Amino acid sequence: MASISIPIPLRERAKSGVLGWLATVDHKKIGIMYMVMSFAFFIAAGLMALLIRLQLAAPNLQVVDPNTYNQLFTMHGSVMIFLFTIPMLVGGFGNYFVPLMIGARDVAFPRLNAFSFWITLGAGLVMLIGFLFGARSDAAWTAYVPYSTKSFSPTVGMDIWLMGVILLGIGSTLGAVNFLVTVYSMRAPGMTAWRIPMFVWAMATTAGMVLLATPVLTAALLMLVADRNFNTQFFTTNRVQLWQHMFWFYSHPAVYIMILPAMGIISEVIPVFSRKPLFGLRAVVISTVLIGLLGFTTWVHHMFVSGVDPAIERFFMFTTMVIAVPTGVKVFNWLATLWGGSLNFKTPLLMCLGFLATFVIGGISGVMQGAIPIDQYVHNSYFVVAHFHYVLFGGSVFGIFAALYYWGPKITGRMFDEKLGKLHFWLMMIGFNVTFFPMHFLGLQGMPRRIATYDPGRGWELGNLIATIGAFLLAFSVLIFIINAIKLRHGEPAGNDPWEGNTLEWSTASPPPEYNFREIPTVESDRPLFDERMRMPQL
Amino acid sequence: MVPPVTRDAELINDLYNVILIFAVVVFVLVEGLLIYSVVKFRRRSADEMPQQIHGSRTLELAWTIIPAIVIAVIFGLAVDTMGRMTARGTLSNPVAHVHAINDVAARQRVERAQPVDLVIEVTGRQWVWQYKYPGGDGVTTSEELIVPANKNIRLDMTAADVIHAWWMPELGPMIYVNPGEMSYVWFNVPPGDYIGQCNVYCGVAHARMISKVKALPQAEYDEWYAQQAAASSAPTRPGDPKAGKNIFMNGACIACHYIEGTKAQGKVAPRDLTNFATYPTIAQLDGFENNAENLVKWLRDPQAVKPGTAMPNLNLKAQEIEDLVAYLLTLK
Ligand code: HEM
Ligand SMILES: [Cu+2]
């Protein structure tokens, strides 16, 4: 790996201390702020989930009243998606690692980047403070009209929720522009398309999706705000499907916005801990882009029972099922990467295996629901709740933890405690499945989602009790992660490259200096550091 | 799944079972490969360097094409099932939507779609299903739908406020019931009690929006129906809504209450009475259902019903109360 010297840009030296953080435009500091922020939101939304599960542990419980319950699941879903998963993956890992992995000194527009962060944090705080002070929305994270219009949700909580999501959309749209320009124009010399790391490919695809999808959601939200406050009639006179089309045009791709970066992470971690190249790199890249494109052709599967023309429904049933093919390709490529490898079972790899084992279940139940007659049975039932948690928790959250354990040492310069990491993994894996697997059966037994309670005698008692126990186990496992993170201060020094990584971020110090690389590296393959190690004389 | 009792539910159930077989095979295959790799390929020594395989065109083609075939088969099965669910009539779906309540042509298509013995009009509202029987006898029920068993029933459904969904797992496909639109469901069931639930989130009491169907043998059904018809043709309550309105607008009521488009513009009472008759409860009091009897009790002495309420006892006469009740129940 040859290196070339590009002068470090002239910018006033970074301030230190609190002001240093508040005023920073360094993509790494911004990345860290995103991670800390989203993790805090994860804890908040997790606590809400525990309350939800407590209420449902047995029939006719009144842990919270029905109003509060409805506000809780609304906020749980909104926070998990808008304030945790997307900001963590895109804002956190994307910001921190995309420039490092492509050998750049920062993102293309550092100040815009800082602006995106602050607007996201502001929006999150607005939503959460509104929630804490009783200005709560209860229209679910999907905010279907007419329920979310002034006639049925007259409270200011609904307006606060709308404003929050609009601001978040602005933040993430700006962030997406930044990523696309960065990846397009700031790659290190020699980093041709097929040498771009998988995570970066995933982030670029994700950014493209954000750019296409978010404005539609923002438009829908603004229309609803206008309906509510300025007497326009976008959703009051039109058929109720208009909102659903606009909402799902964003929110179905949003699922891939949450899963593609996690898939990118998996594609980075598995090769490193198997000591093998990613099997079929090109196929994985192509499937990433394909999923990105196909992700825009499936939104109507959320509306199979809401009154869309049957011919259109069939088309969307087809596209919904087709998307399983590139996804399957990825899964088999990962398995083939493991196959014949030299597997080193450190926590990051365990998290990837957890991802694989559980994501597959979410994928399978996805194809099942894709069949319209099945959807006519399970739509909006707990089967769906199980399905999307297998995708979002089993996929995205396992991916996020894989990344935290994998890149944590790079960010902090310290190693996590492996024992605690493994304990965290196993408890999470067990807790997760105990929580969500029974929900498949609950759905099939006729339990709808978003119900504050239920009567005994419908056969739902046992499944709900088990799920609640699982949720507490799950929460406990996250507690162990937090302890591990606190202990990180005293962890062993990590060195530049503790895992024998393949990509450029491992060639610089841990934590990386302000401008990432003393000298910009030149790239000659898709695994620059692997080549470097192979050339080194064996010690 | 819950045991199906209609042909549509059976078709769905069969499809589910077939797809489940594919699902289990894929699940076992992937998890099997995963577990095998984990057990077999653990790192033995720190400097072990496995063979550097970058890919294999054949393998990758295989795991693109084979899943594509599986997906195609599942798609075909689903389309086939949809076809069979339709085969009974000329409609494209055993559940159907018409996007405007007044769409006559669409409505005629629905009428022609299946032979039907009984059509019931259904209104979903926060948080109850209301059923109106045909025949001009004024028979209505809410919460429980009572039908003759083994007859072709069609429900003509719409929503009064927000979106609701008709979901009776044993009876077949679910469908959204949208305000301003019509949804249709056909079913034919053996005698028995069936239970389901509103399946689109519709507000505070969404969890309590239960749907029940009770299918009675024809004779029992006829008997039940005759009783209902007799009860509903019995003289109604003695109130006169016009007189009631008069009392309302000229009495103390308007000091506190608000009714759109009238001179009642008071803002003291927390709920606006414009659509009072659609409220499920009186004075937002759990379990105090909004009906004439309860309304009489309330007007006679609000404090006795809800101690501490801001509404005073107005010392109304019995006839005044009846008139007010009649008026209030017209506010929809
Ligand atoms: C801490 C573990 C979690 C538990 C125990 C949990 C539990 C639940 C439960 C029981 C519901 C269903 C509420 C209902 O429909 O009645 C729910 C809804 C939901 N969850 Fe989670 N969840 C967890 C984590 C997550 C994560 C990580 C995400 C996303 C990244 C997520 C996203 C959602 C969404 C979008 C909804 C739907 C909210 C709505 O219906 O508006 N959850 N969760
Ligand atoms: Cu409802």
Question: Residue A353 pLDDT more than 70?
Answer: yes
* pLDDT tier for residue A539 given thresholds of 50, 70 and 90: very low
Residues in chain A: 539
Residue B317 near residue B325, CB atoms below 8 Å: no
Question: For residue A458, how far is the Cα from the chain centroid?
Answer: 35
Q: What pLDDT score does B112 carry?
A: 81
Name the residue ranges covered by the structural domains of chain A: 22-538
Q: What pLDDT score does B287 carry?
A: 80
Residues of B in contact with A148 (CB under 8 A): none
Q: How far apart, in whole angstroms, are the C-alpha atoms of residue A57 and residue B260?
A: 43
Helix (H) or strand (E) holding A437: helix A418-444
Q: How far apart, in whole angstroms, are the C-alpha atoms of residue A376 and residue A322?
A: 20
Sign of the four-CA dihedral A293, A294, A300, A301 = negative
* Of B234 and A86, more confident: A86
- For the segment B318-327, the average pLDDT, to the nearest whole number, is 86
Cis peptide before A373 (omega within 30 of 0): no
Summarize pLDDT for B15-59 with one digit per residue, the tens: 999 999 999 999 999 999 999 999 999 998 888 889 888 888 899
How many other C-beta atoms lie within 10 A of the C-beta of residue A21?
15
Residues in chain B: 332
B158 touches chain A (CB under 8 A): no
- For the segment A148-173, the average pLDDT, to the nearest whole number, is 92
Residue A326 near residue A290, CB atoms below 8 Å: yes
CA angle A241, A245, A247 (to 5 degrees): 115
Question: Residue A2 pLDDT more than 80?
Answer: no
Summarize pLDDT for B147-185 with one digit per residue, the tens: 999 998 999 999 988 999 999 999 988 999 999 888 988
Question: Residue A538 pLDDT more than 70?
Answer: no
Can you give the three-state secondary structure of B206-232, one letter per residue? Answer: HHHCEEEEEEECHHHHHHHHHHHHHHH
Contact: A318, B31; criterion CB under 8 Å? no
Highest-pLDDT range among B142-146, B204-208, B213-217, B326-330? B213-217
Q: What pLDDT score does B307 carry?
A: 79
Q: Which of B1, B19, B163 sits opposite A371 (nearest CB)?
A: B19
What are the start-end ranges of the H helices in A275-309? 281-294
pTM of the model: 0.87
In a 10 Å sphere around its CB, with 0-12 CB exposed, 13-18 middle and 19+ buried, how is residue B268 labelled? exposed
Q: How far apart, in whole angstroms, are the C-alpha atoms of residue A151 and residue B183?
A: 23
> Which residue ranges have their beta carbon within 6 Å of ligand 1?
A 46, 49, 52-53, 73-74, 76-77, 80-81, 85, 140-142, 385, 389, 392-393, 396-397, 435, 449-451, 471, 474
Please state, in angstroms and as integers, the Cα–Cα distance from residue B138 to each residue in A539, B133, B145, B179, B236, following that order.
94, 7, 15, 23, 12
Q: What's the fold here for domain A22-538?
A: Cytochrome C Oxidase; Chain A (1.20.210)
Residues within 8 A of A (CB atoms), B 166-205 only: 167, 169, 172-176, 178-181, 183, 195-205
Query: Could you give the percent of chain A with pLDDT greater than 90?
Result: 81
Q: What pLDDT score does A521 carry?
A: 87
ipTM of the complex: 0.91
Residue B41 near residue A343, CB atoms below 8 Å: yes
- Nearest ligand 1 atom to the CA of A46 is 1
* pLDDT tier for residue A14 given thresholds of 50, 70 and 90: low
In a 10 Å sphere around its CB, with 0-12 CB exposed, 13-18 middle and 19+ buried, how is residue A297 labelled? middle
Closest CA to A378 of A439, A292, A451: A439
Instruction: Identify the weakest region by mean pLDDT among A432-441, B92-101, B147-156.
Output: B92-101
What's the mean pLDDT when you consider all of chain B? 87
